[in-house]
């Protein structure tokens, strides 16, 4: 299974994602600059955190126009794993691959700390290594992470079990329904504000993010 | 050329944390007459009306890029025609 880590101008968590997959999981992974237009030969695509295009207009809004986006949409439509963390999540909503939007935190502050999450749905290709209802801790680092969607969309997300992670002890940003991560209806596109790639080694103080990457790799093995 | 100012704000139903913080600050100044403040942004767009109808152009660029309809809405006015 081969992963692509997309590098947009302004991405700054691309190396973290790459190393989580390459060094920690021993996976086959390559950087792909957003000016490229093909993802042929890749089985999964990862969108890193950061500030693509300086968050101009809205976080993630400009990255949608990069050359690589049609290839990412194609992979999503083919049912391949597409994952976005932080700015990657914002890009996936702006590109219409995930519903809703991420707006300014209610506190107006950039929040950088470790928060407790509940794994709401472990029946996905990204979370099969977790227990349903399990509490995990992951770092967050964002100013625009307040998930917003209208009532009808929220109901649809809940009814289809698309809410995968919820903030459990405290809601750090004002997200509706305490939403920290969602999938698309098909379940192959996951966006989340927390950073699992920053919690993959004991040396980092936390390994709760590791099983997310293991889940994707397990899924590939089962399929093969 | 026609200059159009497009205003983008959160929808009525969406919490505007900046607006609330500014309202609180205004109240701290003693301006109890101010009930609320809503924060938005505007874009001054210069359009060549011989290439496309201004109204159509504004609608398209707003809906395709300037506005995220999940949380935002927009209005516009023509500032200058020459």
A25 part of the active site: no
Chain B residues whose beta carbon lies within 8 Å of the beta carbon of residue A100: 70
Chain B residues whose beta carbon lies within 8 Å of the beta carbon of residue A145: none
Q: What is the model's pTM?
A: 0.94
For A14, the token pair is: 């691309």
Count Cβ–Cβ pairs < 8 Å, chain A vs chain B.
33
pLDDT digits (tens, 9 = 90+) for A166-213: 999 999 999 999 999 999 999 999 999 999 999 999 998 999 999 999
pLDDT over threshold 90, residue A223 = no
Candidate list A13, A86, A118, A219, residue with the active-site label: A86
To which residue do tokens 């201004």 refer? B54
Chain B residues whose beta carbon lies within 8 Å of the beta carbon of residue A101: 68, 70-71
**B62: closest CA of chain A, how far (Å):** 12
H or E segment to which residue B9 belongs? strand B2-10
Predicted pLDDT of residue A19: 97
Measured distance CA(A124)–CA(A121) in Å, rounded: 7
End-to-end CA, chain A? 9
Candidate list A94, A118, A129, A197, residue with the active-site label: A197
Percentage of chain B lying above the pLDDT 70 cut = 100
pLDDT over threshold 90, residue A125 = yes
pLDDT digits (tens, 9 = 90+) for A134-153: 999 999 999 999 999 999 99
> Which stretches of chain B score pLDDT less than 70?
none
Residue from A198, A168, A191, A157 nearest A81 by CA: A191
- Which whole number is the average pLDDT over A33-48? 97
**A111: closest CA of chain B, how far (Å):** 15
Sign (positive/negative) of CA torsion A212, A94, A11, A135? negative
For A185, the token pair is: 């209806």
**A176: closest CA of chain B, how far (Å):** 11
Assigned CATH class of A2-223: alpha beta
Predicted pLDDT of residue A221: 78
To which residue do tokens 């942004």 refer? B41
Sign (positive/negative) of CA torsion A118, A120, A125, A128? positive
Provide the 8-state DSSP code for B34.
-
Number of domains in chain B: 1
Q: Are strands A146-148 and A135-142 parallel, antiparallel or unpaired?
A: unpaired
Dihedral, A167, A171, A174, A175 alpha carbons, nearest 10: 10
Measured distance CA(A153)–CA(A139) in Å, rounded: 27
Count of CB atoms situated within 10 Å of the CB of A33: 14
End-to-end CA, chain B? 5
Residue-level length of chain B: 82
Measured distance CA(A52)–CA(A92) in Å, rounded: 12
pLDDT over threshold 80, residue A71 = yes
**B73: closest CA of chain A, how far (Å):** 13
To which residue do tokens 């994952």 refer? A83
For A74, the token pair is: 């194609």
Predicted pLDDT of residue A220: 81
A112 part of the active site: no
Residue A57 contacts B where some CB pair is shorter than 8 Å: yes
Q: Where are the domains of chain A?
A: 2-223
B68 vs A99: CB contact, 8 Å cut-off?
no
Chain A residues whose beta carbon lies within 8 Å of the beta carbon of residue B13: 150
Residue B34 sits in a domain of what CATH number? 3.30.1280.10
Range of the domain at B31: 2-81
Q: Which of B10, B21, B43, B70 to mutate to test the interface with A (most CBs of A within 10 A)?
A: B70
CB A76 within 8 A of CB A189: yes
A197 part of the active site: yes
In B1-82, alpha helices (H): 17-28, 54-61
**CA–centroid distance for A50 within its chain:** 12
Measured distance CA(A172)–CA(B69) in Å, rounded: 24
Predicted pLDDT of residue B82: 86
Predicted pLDDT of residue A224: 60
Q: Are strands A135-142 and A179-183 parallel, antiparallel or unpaired?
A: unpaired
């Amino acid at each position: 299974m081969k992963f692509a880590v997309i590098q947009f101008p302004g991405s700054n968590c691309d190396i973290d994602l790459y190393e989580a997959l390459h060094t920690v999981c021993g996976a086959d992974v390559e950087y792909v600059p957003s000016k490229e237009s093909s993802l042929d030969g890749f089985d999964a695509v990862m969108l890193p955190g950061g500030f693509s295009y300086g968050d101009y207009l809205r976080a993630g809004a400009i990255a949608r126009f990069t050359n690589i986006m049609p290839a990412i949409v194609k992979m999503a439509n083919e049912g391949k794993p597409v994952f976005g963390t932080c700015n990657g999540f914002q890009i996936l909503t702006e590109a219409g691959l995930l519903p809703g939007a991420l707006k300014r935190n209610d506190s107006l502050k950039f929040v950088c700390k470790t928060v407790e999450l509940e794994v709401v749905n472990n029946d996905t290709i990204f979370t099969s290594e977790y227990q349903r209802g399990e509490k995990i801790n992951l770092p967050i680092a964002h100013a625009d992470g307040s998930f917003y969607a209208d009532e009808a969309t929220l109901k649809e997300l809940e009814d289809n079990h698309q809410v995968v992670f919820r903030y459990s002890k405290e809601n750090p940003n004002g997200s509706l329904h305490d939403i920290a991560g969602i999938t698309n209806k098909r379940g192959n596109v996951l966006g989340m504000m927390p950073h699992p790639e920053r919690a993959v080694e004991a040396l980092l103080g936390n390994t709760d993010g590791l099983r997310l990457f293991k889940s994707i790799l397990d899924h590939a093995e089962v399929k093969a | 050329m026609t200059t159009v100012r497009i205003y983008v704000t959160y929808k009525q139903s969406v919490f505007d944390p900046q607006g609330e913080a500014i309202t609180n600050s205004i109240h701290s100044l003693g301006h109890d007459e101010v009930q609320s403040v809503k924060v938005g942004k505007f874009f001054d767009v210069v359009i060549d009306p011989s290439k496309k109808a201004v109204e159509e152009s504004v609608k398209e660029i707003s809906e395709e890029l300037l506005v995220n309809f999940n949380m935002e809405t927009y209005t516009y006015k023509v500032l200058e025609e020459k």
